[in-house]
Amino acid sequence: MAHLTTAPQLDPGQDRTMILNMGPQHPSTHGVLRVILEIDGETVVRIMPDIGYLHTGIEKTCEAKFYQQIVPLTDRIDYLCPLTNNLCYCLAVEKLLGLEIPPKAQWLRVLLNELTRINSHLVWLGTHAMDIGALTVFLYCFREREDILRLFEAVSGQRMMTSYFRIGGVALEPPLDFFDRVRDFANRFPSKVDEYENLLTANPIWVMRTKGVARITAEDAIALGASGPTLRGSGVDFDLRRDMPYSSYEKFKFKVPVATEGDVFARYICRVQELRESIGIVQQALDGMPSGPIKADAPKVVLPDREKMKTQMEALIYHFKIITEGFAVPAGEVYQAVESPRGEMGYYVVSDGTAKPYRVHMRAACLANLQLLPAMCEGRLIADVVAAIGSIDIVLGEIDR
> Is the CB of 218 or the CB of 286 nearer to other proteins?
218
Asked if residue 52 binds other proteins (CB under 8 A), the reply is yes
Nearer to other proteins, 35 or 315 (CB): 35
Q: What b/e string do you get for 204-214 counting C-beta neighbours within 10 Å, with b at 16 or more?
A: eebeebbeebb
| Rg (the chain; Cα; Å) | 22
Contact code string over 302-331 relative to other proteins, x by CB under 8 A: ----------------------------x-
Angle made by CA atoms 263, 265, 269, in degrees to the nearest 5: 120
Tell me the C-alpha distance between 35 and 142, whole Å: 27
Q: Of 5-13, 31-39, 79-87, 201-209, which part binds other proteins (CB under 8 A)?
A: 5-13
Count of beta carbons in the 10 Å neighbourhood of residue 164: 23
Of the pair 64, 317, the CB lying nearest other proteins is at 64
358 binds other proteins (CB under 8 A): yes
- Residue 132 within binding range of other proteins, rule CB under 8 A: no
Considering only residues 60 through 79, tell me which ones interact with other proteins, judged by CB under 8 A: 60-61, 63-64
State the minimum distance, in angstroms, from the CB of residue 150 to other proteins.
Answer: 35
Nearer to other proteins, 144 or 239 (CB): 239
**Using the rule CB under 8 A, which residue among 188, 335, 353, 379 binds other proteins?**
335
The verdict on 9 binding other proteins (CB under 8 A) reads no
- Give the angle 281-283-287 at the CA atoms, nearest 5°: 115
Residue 348: what are its φ and ψ, rounded to 5°?
-110, 110
What three-state secondary structure class fits 256?
A: coil
Q: Are 351 and 66 in contact (CB under 8 A)?
A: no
- 140 vs 358, beta carbon nearer other proteins: 358
The Cα 201–Cα 198 span in angstroms is: 6
Task: Tell me the sheet residues that pair with 336.
Answer: 347
Contact between 394 and 370 under an 8 Å Cβ cutoff? The reply is: yes
Greatest distance between any 2 Cα atoms in the chain: 81
Q: Hey, CA dihedral for 109, 110, 116, 117, is it positive or negative?
A: positive
- What is the nearest approach in angstroms of other proteins to the Cβ of residue 175? 31
- 102, 126, 225, 390: which one contacts other proteins (CB under 8 A)? 225
Shortest approach of other proteins to residue 375 CB, angstroms?
9
Among 30, 40, 42, 100, the residue binding other proteins under the rule CB under 8 A is: 100
**Under the rule (CB under 8 A), what is the footprint of other proteins?**
1-7, 51-52, 55, 57, 59-61, 63-64, 95-96, 98-100, 222-225, 236, 238, 243-244, 330, 332-335, 337, 344, 346, 348, 350, 358-359, 361, 363, 367-368, 370-371, 400-401
